[in-house]
Amino acid sequence: MRSKIAFLSLFLAGGILFAQSYLFEFKYKEGDSYRILSTVQEDVFFNNSFHHHAEIINRVSVRVDGLDENGNGIHKAIFMTSENSTGAHGGIFSYGEDYESVFTRDANGKYDISDKYFMPVVRDVPIFPKEKIEAGHKWTAQGHEAHDLRRTFDIKTPYKIPFNAEYEFLGTVQDGEKTFYKFDVQYEMEYSVDLSKYDFSKGDVPAATQGYSHQTIYWDIDKGCIDHYREDFRIDILTSSNNVLRFEGTARAEVTDFTRTADEKNVAAVMEKISDMGIDDVSVSAGEKGLTLSIENIQFRPDSDILMPSERAKLDKIAQILNAYPDNDLLVTGHTALRGTKESRQQLSEERAQAVADYLIRKNVRDKYHVFTHGMGGDAPIADNRTEAGRARNRRVEITIMDK
């Protein structure tokens, strides 16, 4: 069959038909950095009744800090999760809390990570054989999921669910000029808990967990890493009070390199562009998260989140700068002067950040999955709130080209 021959990447050598074999390994080099962005569409059920639908963004920025004595990559990662109910804020995601994680991972994919870290959730997937394999090869490897149930059940360490994953190498697929190596990964979970470990005075606890995951992974053999993947999943948690929580849905993820922006050279280059474009009241700085453009005295209609025409024109020019860093996510942060109540300042700062983010999305600077918002109220002034000039500077929106 023609399709089978193409799919298995067969070639003729010496009159005998052979299947090409490949060695799959994670490749690590000190200083490497990358970003993983996964989008989850999830339905949540309580005791078999639909509770809500959620769209969840998991953003991970990772740096390889070095290699241990065995050549395993030492990873330092920042995880952020943001969740929206369908339709909230037009689908724009607020930036959630950052969680640090440090772990090592060997060439075959095995993790070594302390119980002080709750991320990543799915561990030891994929695990590759140590020998070369060809299309059609199947194998099994152990893994586990580690869930953060501190808020739901007051469990202080990761709630680990072991599984045996079944793998199949499906062959190569072409995407333009790029060749990816495709894998099918499936596992089922069936796990019961020793309830004698728990203090029931604190309430309900998980008694058993079952579910499944079905992933399709696309591997970049040159970089030695996943390029993207798709997943269908379901997780059922039975509690000690016989309640059942079900989470089911789909996930997709992309892994990308990104440009490091937070250095003096980029600050100077962006400031020069701002000056050449004649953009007023914008400063540039390098910070922990990346390179930040601060739009001071940004003009909205009074006490609203509606941008004035002059500010939309300013953002059109700033968009040209942002487009020079297409692989970096954006964080839009709103600030206010000390006017009104703390609650009203917080709400207004969030709304104004969302208004700027929404405008950038409508201008196709990024899609909604690569722009995050945050409101600071009046908690981070840069000038004296006792003067009008100072208050004007404090009424600002910052756009950060994110490094991590």
pLDDT level of residue 197 (50, 70, 90 thresholds): low
Q: DSSP alpha helices (H): ranges in 89-187?
A: 150-153
What pTM was computed for the model? 0.82
Residue whose entry in the numeric block shows the structure tokens 């941008």 = 307
pLDDT level of residue 337 (50, 70, 90 thresholds): confident
Please state, in angstroms and rounded to a whole number, the distance separating the CA atoms of residues 399 and 371. 10
Judge whether residue 8 has pLDDT over 70: no
pLDDT level of residue 85 (50, 70, 90 thresholds): low
CB 39 within 8 A of CB 368: no
Calculate what percentage of the chain has a pLDDT beyond 70: 91
Q: What are the two backbone dihedrals, phi and then psi, of residue 40, each rounded to the nearest 5 degrees?
A: -115, 130
- Least confident stretch, 109-118, 200-209, 311-320: 200-209
- Least confident stretch, 2-16, 185-199, 313-327, 330-344: 2-16
Q: Residues 4-28: what's their mean pLDDT?
A: 60
Collapsed DSSP state (helix, strand, coil) of residue 343: helix
Q: Residues 1-12: what's their mean pLDDT?
A: 36
Judge whether residue 248 has pLDDT over 70: yes
Q: DSSP alpha helices (H): ranges in 197-333?
A: 264-277, 309-322
